[in-house]
Amino acid sequence: MNRLYLAWQEPSTRKWLPVGMLSFDGKLYRFSYTRGASESSIFEPFPKMKRLEEVYESEELFPLFSNRLLTKTRPEYNDFLSWLKMDKSEQNQLKMLALTGAARATDSLEMFACPSPTADGNYEISFFSHGISHLDKYVIEKVNGLDPGGRLFIMHDLQNSYDFKALALRTSDPMTIVGYCPRYLDDDVHKLISLCDPQTITMKVEQVNRQAPLQLRLLCRLVAPWPAGFEPCSSPLYQPIVASGK
């Protein structure tokens, strides 16, 4: 994983736009604004990154992103790595940002990786179930009791007033909604459902972190065939305003 997208939610429309791309080549981090940043008249560039037409480079992860990660000096840091199912020797900052979404309650930003086909031709992605904190207490207890490898099911939440594409995650028996797919996956998953035999799409519990905050409680994994011609993150909004040339 060497590239992530940064999404921003427009306050009035609640529409999510890809406004930036972060990459790392092993030596330099690069951040560039994407065309989604020009889609909204009220989007404001980030501090110390005020020019949309510039590629920013740094040997260290930019503060905009590093400040969204738990620091190594925090006593719960090793627990944090285990919640992300990461080895202590790995500590890949981009992977951490992608898994957690780098979201904060104080802003409307979220980070995600754009999947690419696996060696065996599949679409695979891990993510934390969203929205658990808004569910009833008994649902949280249900989440805590889930077993790794257990099957979950995708359900289109047609009457969701915040996101008409919302995809709920549910158990089978008894049927209980245990959260939602991240919004940045909505388009991909809807396309996969329309292009693939639904029986070939699997959603499973990867890990349950019973001592973690709710936003890091339920780690899920989606696996599906990669359909011919399927191209996630391919709209013009994902294209950088200025190519880095690297």
Q: How many of the other CB atoms lie within 10 Å of CB of 158? A: 8
Q: What pTM value is reported for the model?
A: 0.85
What strands lie across the sheet with 29-33, from one edge to the other?
Answer: 55-58, 29-33, 16-24, 3-9, 109-113
Q: Are residues 88 and 132 in the same domain?
A: no
Q: How many of the other CB atoms lie within 10 Å of CB of 19? A: 24
Q: Are residues 158 and 110 in the same domain?
A: no
The answer to whether residues 45 and 55 touch, using CB atoms and an 8 Å cutoff, is no
Q: Which domain does 62 fall in, by range?
A: 3-115
Q: Is residue 219 part of a domain?
A: yes
Q: Are residues 110 and 128 in the same domain?
A: no
Q: Is residue 234 part of a domain?
A: no
Q: Are residues 111 and 130 in the same domain?
A: no
Q: What is the CA 175 to chain-centroid distance, rounded?
A: 25
> For residue 54, what are the contacts with CB-CB under 8 A and spacing of at least 6?
32, 242
Side-chain-side CA neighbours of 196 within 13 Å: the count stands at 21
Domain tally, the chain? 2
Q: Are residues 109 and 128 in the same domain?
A: no
Q: Are residues 99 and 49 in the same domain?
A: yes
Q: Is residue 201 part of a domain?
A: yes
Q: Are residues 105 and 30 in the same domain?
A: yes
Q: Are residues 45 and 128 in the same domain?
A: no
Q: Are residues 78 and 20 in the same domain?
A: yes
Q: Are residues 139 and 188 in the same domain?
A: yes
Domain of residue 215, CATH code? 3.30.70.2330
Q: Are residues 129 and 200 in the same domain?
A: yes
Mind listing the pLDDT tens digit of every residue in the chain (246 residues)?
A: 588 999 998 888 878 899 999 999 989 999 999 999 999 999 999 999 999 999 999 999 999 999 999 888 899 999 999 999 998 777 789 999 999 988 876 778 999 998 899 999 999 999 999 999 989 999 999 999 999 999 999 999 988 777 788 999 999 978 999 999 988 888 899 999 999 998 999 999 999 999 999 999 999 999 999 999 999 988 899 999 987 655
> For residue 59, what are the contacts with CB-CB under 8 A and spacing of at least 6?
27, 28, 29
Q: Are residues 146 and 74 in the same domain?
A: no
Buried/exposed code over 77-86 (b: 16+ C-beta within 10 A; e: otherwise) = eeebbebbee
